[in-house]
Amino acid sequence: MPNRGAIAAALSAAVGRRGSKLMLMAALAVSYLLLAKAGLALASIHPSATPVWPPTGLAIAALLLLGPEAAPAVFLGAWLANQTTTGDLASSLAIGLGNTLEAVVGALLTRRWAHGVHAFEKPGRVVRFALICLALATPASATIGAVSLRAAGLAELPQLPAIWVTWWLGDFAGALIVAPAIVLWAQADRLMRPPREEALVYLAAAAIGLIAFSPLFEQTALRGALAFLAVLPLLWAALRCGPKATATTALIVAGFAVWGTNAGGGPFARDRPDDSFLLLLMFIASFCLPGLVLAANVAVHRLVLAEKDMLLREVHHRVKNNLQVIASMVHLKSRQTLPDSRPHFDSLAERVYALGRIYDQVHNSDNLAEIDMGQALREIADSVCTERIQVEASAPELRMGVDTAIPLALIALELAANAGKHAFPDRSGTVRMELRRLNGRRVELSIVDDGVGFDPDEVPPTSSGLQIVRALVRQIEGDLETRAGSGTEHRIVFPG
C-alpha cells in the first residue's frame, strides 16, 4: 500500500516547485513592465518607439536562462506596457507578440549559433550574438511594431521609416547592454577576480559616468572630452576581471550616458533629440561590443594558459619521476658490475641527476624558454661540493635559452665533477666556476681548480668525459681551451 506520507510530501514539493515557477514568471513580467516604462520615458518621435529599449535584453536573457516557458511572461509584460501607453488593444497585442517573437528568435538562434548562455565566453560567439540581435531578432519586433501602429491609426505613413529605425536600434542597444550582464551574473565566472577589484572597477565606471555624462554638471568642451575616459574602466574590467565585470561596467556607463542624453546634457546632446539619441546608440554599440569581445578573448587565453599549466605540471611530474628511476637503475647497476666499470656508471647517474635539477629549474622558472645560468651554476656547485672539495660559483643573473643553458650546465657539471675526482687525490682543494659576458655577444665560462694539474695531451682521446664535453661545446658553437700547470683551467667561449 502506498505510503501516504511520501505521497503528501511529493505533492507538496510539486506544488512548491510550481508556485516558485509562477512567482519567477510573475517577477519576470513585472520586471519587463518596469523596464519598458523606463524605456518609454525616453520616447521622442513616437510614444511607442524609444531609442533605448532595455526589456529586449531582459527578455532574451530570460529565454536563454529559463527556456521557452518564459515567453508568456515576456508577452504579458510587453502587452501591459503597450496597453497602458497607447490604450489600443489590437496594436498592444501585436506589439507584445512582436517583442516576444524578437526574444524567442534571439534566444533560439543564440542557442543554435552562439552556444546559448555561453555566448559571451569566446570572441566569435559574442560577435555572432550581436549579429543575431542586429540582423534577425530586432528587425522582427521593429517591423511588427511599426506596421501595427500604422494599422491602428496611431502613426502616419511618413513617420514609419523613422519609427522603424528607432525601434530597431533601440532594441539592439537594449540587447547589447542588458542581456550579457544578466546572463553572466547568472553564470559562475570561472576566471573572476576578487570581488574587491570588481567593486573598484564599478566605482570607477560610476565616477566617470557621473562626471562625463550626467546632467548634474554644466556641459563644456573639456567635459565632453572626458567621455573618452569611459574606456578605462572597461579595459580594466576586460583585462583583469573577466566578461561579467566587463558587461556590468558597460551597463553602468551606458546607464549614465542614457540619463544624461535624455536630460539634454552630456557629450551627445544636440538640438534635435533624434540626433542626440543616434549619437548615443553609436556610442553604446562601439563601446559595449569591443569590450565584450576583448573580455572574452582574455578569458579564453586565461583558460588555455590554465590548461597548459596543468598539462605542464603533469608532464613535469612524469619526466621527473622517469629521470629519478633512470638514475636509480644506473646506480643499482653500478653496484652489480665490476669495480673498474663503476666510475662510468656513477658518472652517468650524476649526469641524469644534473638533468633532473636543470629540468626542475626550467619548470619552476617564470619564463620556460630561458634559464638563470647564475642560479644553475650555484646549484651545480652545491651538488659537487664535498667535505674535502670546496666548489664556488661566481655568476651574474644571466638568462640563456634552454638550447644553450642545458648543454652549458652539463659541461660545468662534467668539468667540476672531474676536478673533484682527479685534481685532489690526497688533499683538499677548491674549484671555481665563473660565468661572465665578454665584449660583444660572447660569453665565457671558466672552471679553475688548484689541484695537481695534468697534461691535456696525455688524456686518452677515448675518454668519455672529454668526448662529452667536446660534443657539448660544439653543440653551443663554442671554443674550448684547457691550460694545466699548478692546477687546471678550462675556458669555454660561446655566443650568448
pLDDT tens for the chain, 496 residues: list them: 455 555 555 545 555 567 788 999 999 999 999 999 999 988 888 888 899 999 999 999 999 999 999 999 999 999 999 999 888 999 999 999 999 999 999 999 999 999 999 999 999 999 999 999 999 999 999 999 999 999 999 999 999 999 999 999 999 999 999 999 999 999 865 545 558 899 999 999 999 999 999 888 887 777 778 888 999 999 999 999 999 999 999 999 999 999 999 888 888 888 888 888 889 999 999 999 999 999 999 999 998 888 877 776 777 667 777 777 777 777 777 777 767 777 767 767 776 776 777 667 666 666 666 788 888 888 888 878 888 888 898 888 788 887 888 889 889 888 888 888 778 888 888 999 999 988 878 999 999 998 887 665 555 555 667 788 899 999 999 999 988 877 889 999 999 7
Phi and psi at 484, nearest 5°, equal -130, 150
> What residue type is assigned to position 402 of the chain?
V
CA distance 357 to 369: 16
Question: The whole model's pTM is what?
Answer: 0.73
Per-residue model confidence as pLDDT tens digits over 19-76:
788 999 999 999 999 999 999 988 888 888 899 999 999 999 999 999 999 999 999 9
> In whole angstroms, what is the distance from residue 249 CA to residue 201 CA?
7
CA 17 – CA 36 distance, rounded (Å): 28
Whole-number pLDDT of residue 12: 55
Instruction: Report the pLDDT value the prediction gives residue 1, as an integer from 0 to 100.
Output: 46
Alpha-carbon distance values, 404 to 6, 22, 85, 251, 443 (Å): 73, 69, 76, 52, 11
**Which residues, listed in sequence order, are joined to residue 491 by a DSSP beta bridge?**
446, 481
169-200 burial by CB neighbour count: b if 16+ within 10 A, else e?
A: bbbbbbbbbbbbbbbbeeeebebbbeeeebeb
Radius of gyration of the chain (CA): 37
The terminus-to-terminus CA distance of the chain in angstroms comes to 87
Query: In order of start, what are the domains of the chain with their CATH numbers?
Result: 13-300 (no CATH), 367-495 (3.30.565.10)
The 3-state secondary structure of 167-197 reads HHHHHHHHHHHHHHHHHHHHCCCCCCCCHHH
**Helix (H/G/I), strand (E/B), else coil: 242:** coil
Give the CA angle between residues 187, 29, 41 to the nearest 5°: 100
pLDDT at residue 464, as a whole number: 66
What is the pLDDT, as a whole number, of residue 191? 46
Residue-level pLDDT at 16: 56
Are 49 and 163 within 8 A, CB to CB?
yes
How far is the C-alpha of 2 from the C-alpha of 49, rounded, in Å?
A: 59
Cell numbers of 495, please? 655566443
pLDDT one-digit tens code per residue, 283-310: 999 999 999 999 999 999 998 888 877 7
Q: What's the DSSP call for residue 451?
A: S
Residue 416 to residues 167, 350, 352, 378, 410, Cα–Cα distance (Å): 80, 12, 15, 12, 10
356 touches 323 (CB < 8 A): yes
